[in-house]
Amino acid sequence: MDVTIPGIPAEYDAYRERLQAFLASHRPMIKMPPMVGVRMPESRADLEGLRGWVASLHDAGFVLTRFTEEPGDPFEQRILEEELAASGLPYILGNPLVAGAIKMFGTPEQRHRYLPPIARGDHIWTQLFSEPDAGSDLASLKTRARRDGDDYVVDGQKVWSTWAPFADFGYLLARSEAEPGPRGITAFILDMRSEGVETRPLREMTGTADFSEVFFDGVRVPAANVIGAPGEGWKVANASLAVERGGVGGLDSDDVVHGLVRLARNHRRGGRPALEDSAVRQQLAAFAARARIQRALGYRVATKAAAGTSDVWDAPLMKIWGSELNLETAEYGLELQGARSALSDADPLVAEGGHWQDAFLYARALTIAGGSNEIMRNLIAERGLGLPREPRGA
């Protein structure tokens, strides 16, 4: 298939310049340092600063169409995503996975009620999928939702939920139907301020608490908060997870490679810049080639999606390629630093404020997010290539 992702026409330069000027003049004054991945502020003051920034973007007309019911201008959307990513600040507060679920399966009232506040940063969402015994294998989840009149009563536990301490709502999967496996699962909108919800942040090896475990004890959820229909949660979740997997695969590896070049230029080996070492140059060239392949894969997948010819392996392939390249470049960023790679971000001699150390510690999370890469390979093999299913445990 030919890739049909056109370049951005020159007449959009004015839009880009207007956006760049807006970002420069409205950058929030927060103490949160720039970090890789999906990270959460640790102070309420930083949270409110980010809310104000996202609201100002929305009110100025800079809105991502993933949170709207209208398609928007595709070139403006590409520019918006590029420039927001380059800002180094969160521009989506919370986990936005629910937006795809509501757009594809939500009622008109749900779309009208929940999508605009996500776009403006008024509502922060968390994802309530994984459990201690059900990570990538979501079909084995145990959290239960029992129908009681006009409500469901939820009991159980979730883990690895981003932004949960600050979340207004949760995108919840729970077992509600008397059916085994995926057929018994329903997707819900959960008000995180409901009685019986308890959130406990988890401190990770990055030093930050970006994930939490969440407990439900007799939490009442209105039946009107079901996304799709009872028992359709597996279908709803898989549709929205495809967006997350594509997002992980869509990491801008070109920027990472440029960062490695900068790092190699500033660090010395044998009395000269590491960039002059032929082995370093070969490795950087290999990363650059893989980054270009990633971009080509992304354009191909986007072309297929626009033509309605997507294959089951598209998102998993992008997710595997992007997350593993991200991990290898983070590891190489430490290798280039030699002994200095052991320094923490608090050490005055650490390179680039400890960026590469943070990237290294966080990188493995992206090989798990949206379904581990091992599960992704199974999806490609079994659903894409028709190979025999991997034996499941008893």
List residues with catalytic annotation: 244
Residue 244 tokens read as 């997350």
Q: Is 10 helix (H, G, I), strand (E, B) or coil?
A: helix
Q: Is 390 helix (H, G, I), strand (E, B) or coil?
A: coil
DSSP string, 83-150: HHHHTTS--S-B-THHHHHHHHH--HHHHHHHHHHHHHTSS-EEEE--BTTBSS-GGG---EEEEETT
**Region of residue 52 (phi > 0: left; psi between -120 and 50: alpha; otherwise: beta):** alpha
d(C-alpha 169, C-alpha 189), whole Å: 7
The terminus-to-terminus CA distance of the chain in angstroms comes to 42
Residue 47 tokens read as 């949270």
d(C-alpha 33, C-alpha 207), whole Å: 13
User: Positive or negative CA dihedral for 44, 35, 168, 54?
Assistant: positive
Q: Which burial class, exposed, middle or buried, applies to 44 when counting CB atoms under 10 A from its CB (0-12, 13-18, 19+)? A: exposed
d(C-alpha 291, C-alpha 297), whole Å: 10
Q: How does strand 151-162 pair with strand 185-191?
A: unpaired
- For the beta carbon of residue 181, count every other beta carbon within 10 angstroms: 10
Residue 166 tokens read as 């600050």
Q: Which burial class, exposed, middle or buried, applies to 370 when counting CB atoms under 10 A from its CB (0-12, 13-18, 19+)? A: buried
d(C-alpha 89, C-alpha 87), whole Å: 5
CA 376 to chain centre: 16
